[in-house]
Amino acid sequence: MAQPRGGGYSLKGGKVQDSYVRSVYQALTSADNRTAVTAVGLFAAGVAFLSSSYSELLLPP
């Protein structure tokens, strides 16, 4: 049986709150947070590179 569509509103008349995952996704993809998300991503990539075996390529011969 299909559930009725409420149009995004609860029975009490208030707006239904977004789920936690949706609010986190919207925060990460918003234009206001783009520089911070980019900086954290580049930092994580740098740490992953330096902790891997590929970091030995940086050593002199």
Per-domain boundaries in the chain: 20-53
Q: What pLDDT is stored for residue 18 in this prediction?
A: 77
Predicted structure pTM score:
0.59
Q: What is the pLDDT confidence band of residue 9, given thresholds at 50, 70 and 90?
A: low
Q: Does the pLDDT value for residue 10 go beyond 70?
A: no
Q: What is the distance between the alpha carbons of residues 3 and 52, in angstroms, rounded to a whole number?
A: 50
Average pLDDT for 37-43: 96
Least trusted range by pLDDT, from 7-11, 13-17, 35-39, 46-50: 7-11
Distance CA 37, CA 24 (A): 12
Q: What is the mean pLDDT of the chain?
A: 84
